[in-house]
């Protein structure tokens, strides 16, 4: 069943085409603030919780969370919907410690092995996605970056560690037919564009030496939108684009309509997709959208428009025979197919804190960019007035200012408050918090599930 690239398709050993369509398992082995409700970045959050309740009890909670977050029931649901792929983001910290670089932590593979095997039993492929690397490959929280600097591209030491980790990963999974392939670096953000290409050259050779057969899923630079960094076409490789719709962000406007001065309708979605997949079409390689998906607000009128964005995107992908991985499967309410019950232990305890984060706009992915406007608007005006030509990588001055103030400063200031909510809990209460993420304790976003199941069922593909 091992897949390989044949022209514009992924195919099985007997040549049967397979279009990988499914979800990303965000917030699991690479935790993200908007997915599980904490502030700032994962490592800082884990350190704060360990300081609050002790390392052993923190490990009790986090290991149970990893266990409950994805079980056989989740694999069965995805199979029932008709999905055949899960992209699994992982953080390097599970497999290697900064204190002991290049020493592999065997125990760190236990959950990844478990879920890959679970999915395989349901006929679902896994794509292993290294979402956070030493030094951080991009400028944001989802690479477990406590700063706004992507140091990975500046230091050979960090790159050496990732090459070594992938040699180990490739050797471990080389004979697993339900691993579709390896997504070695999620959303690179190399400001110069000069380091990422040579690094990929080196990485591909190392992985191929350990595992000549599995597909490589390589993201373009600037958050998987720029493919000019590739200096050659690697064999058996998918060049992965990400395709978030402007109107689908938390700060998105009506659809169709204007978002931050730009008109967004179906035609705009298609033009954007065409632009982001020029490289794939020119090179005759498969099109796979590694991430996409709107943010939902709880407002029925707005969410109906968000479902229409998703419906339009899926139809565009179908027309091009593109595979996809929707972001994300499970979270505390922004995008997930399922979410912990608001009346359950986790959201009952952390709900008011999450509401405070939302009020402050402390999570980049959940921010409308208008929170605390009375305080921040003068700062934005000052930046525009005094530094009109400042255009920092990757998204410009307005986003950079928000990142530095809201999503780093305010988010990090919130860490002790989040960690304090774990104090005074018994072991049983900690486990109940973690078990709030078990599918049996979750509520389903039925319109989203029905939309996806309808799309997957209509194609007749598997």
Task: Name the catalytic one among 42, 96, 291, 371.
Answer: 291
* Other Cβ atoms within 10 Å of 378 Cβ, number: 10
What is the distance between the alpha carbons of residues 372 and 350, in angstroms, rounded to a whole number?
21
What is the distance between the alpha carbons of residues 411 and 392, in angstroms, rounded to a whole number?
21
Instruction: State whether the Cα torsion 200-202-205-211 is positive or negative.
Output: negative
Task: Name the catalytic one among 32, 96, 187, 371.
Answer: 187
Phi then psi for residue 186, to 5 deg, are: -75, 135
Closest listed residue to residue 363, CA positions, set 221, 451, 249, 195: 249
φ/ψ bin of 361: left (φ > 0), alpha (ψ from -120 to 50), beta (otherwise): left
236 is written with which tokens? Answer: 């058996």
DSSP state of 226: B
- For residue 339, give every residue at least 6 positions away whose Cβ sits within 8 Å of its Cβ, in sequence order, or none: 330, 331, 332, 333, 442, 443, 445
**Using CB atoms within 10 A of its CB, is residue 432 exposed (0-12), middle (13-18) or buried (19+)?**
middle
- For residue 26, give every residue at least 6 positions away whose Cβ sits within 8 Å of its Cβ, in sequence order, or none: 32, 35, 89, 327, 328, 329, 331
232 among known catalytic residues: no
187 among known catalytic residues: yes
**Rg of the chain in Å (alpha carbons):** 21
DSSP string, 327-361: S-SB-SSSS-SEEE-TTSHHHHHHHHHHHHHHHHT
> How far is residue 234 from each of residues 178, 288, 323, measured CA to CA in Å?
22, 16, 19
Answer whether 352's CB lies under 8 Å from 154's CB.
Answer: no
φ/ψ bin of 161: left (φ > 0), alpha (ψ from -120 to 50), beta (otherwise): alpha
Give the active site residues: 187, 291
């Amino acid at each position: 069943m091992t897949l390989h690239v044949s022209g514009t398709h992924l195919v099985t050993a007997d040549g049967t085409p397979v279009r990988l369509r499914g979800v990303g398992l965000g917030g699991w082995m690479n935790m993200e603030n908007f997915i599980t409700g904490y502030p700032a970045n994962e490592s800082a959050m884990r350190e704060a919780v360990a300081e609050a309740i002790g390392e052993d009890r923190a490990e009790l909670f986090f290991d149970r969370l990893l266990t409950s977050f994805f079980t056989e029931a989740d694999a069965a649901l995805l199979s029932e919907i008709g999905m055949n792929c899960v992209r699994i983001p992982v953080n390097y910290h599970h497999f290697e410690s900064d204190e002991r670089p290049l020493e592999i932590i065997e125990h760190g593979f236990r959950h990844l092995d478990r879920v890959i095997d679970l999915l395989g039993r349901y006929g679902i492929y896994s794509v292993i996605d290294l979402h956070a690397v030493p030094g951080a490959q991009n400028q944001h929280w989802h690479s477990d970056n406590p700063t706004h600097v992507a140091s990975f591209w500046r230091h050979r030491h960090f790159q050496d560690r990732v090459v070594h980790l992938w040699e180990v990963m490739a050797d471990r999974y080389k004979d697993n037919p339900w691993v579709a392939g390896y997504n070695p670096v999620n959303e690179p953000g190399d400001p110069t564009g000069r380091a990422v290409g040579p690094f990929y050259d080196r990485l591909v050779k190392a992985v191929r030496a350990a595992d000549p057969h599995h597909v490589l899923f390589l993201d373009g630079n600037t958050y998987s939108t720029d493919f000019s960094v590739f200096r050659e076409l690697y064999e058996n490789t998918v060049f992965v684009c990400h395709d978030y719709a402007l109107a689908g962000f938390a700060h998105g406007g009506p659809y169709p309509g204007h978002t931050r001065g730009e008109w967004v309708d179906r035609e705009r979605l298609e033009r954007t997709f065409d632009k982001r997949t020029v490289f794939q079409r020119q090179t005759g390689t498969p099109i796979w959208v590694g991430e996409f998906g709107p943010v939902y607000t709880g407002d029925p009128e707005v969410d109906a428009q968000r479902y229409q964005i998703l419906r339009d995107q899926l139809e565009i992908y179908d027309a091009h025979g593109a595979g996809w991985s929707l972001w994300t499967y499970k979270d505390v309410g922004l995008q997930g197919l399922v979410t912990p019950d608001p009346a359950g232990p986790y959201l009952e305890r952390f709900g008011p804190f999450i509401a405070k984060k939302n009020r402050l706009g402390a999570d980049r992915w959940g921010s409308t960019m208008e929170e605390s406007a009375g305080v921040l608007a003068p700062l934005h005006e000052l930046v525009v007035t005094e530094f009109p030509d400042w255009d920092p990588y990757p998204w410009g001055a307005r986003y950079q200012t928000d990142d530095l103030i809201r999503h780093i400063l305010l988010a990090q200031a919130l860490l002790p408050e989040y960690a304090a909510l774990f104090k005074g809990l018994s072991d049983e209460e900690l486990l109940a918090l973690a078990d709030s993420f078990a599918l049996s304790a979750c509520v389903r976003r039925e319109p989203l599930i029905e939309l996806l199941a309808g799309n997957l069922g209509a194609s007749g593909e598997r």
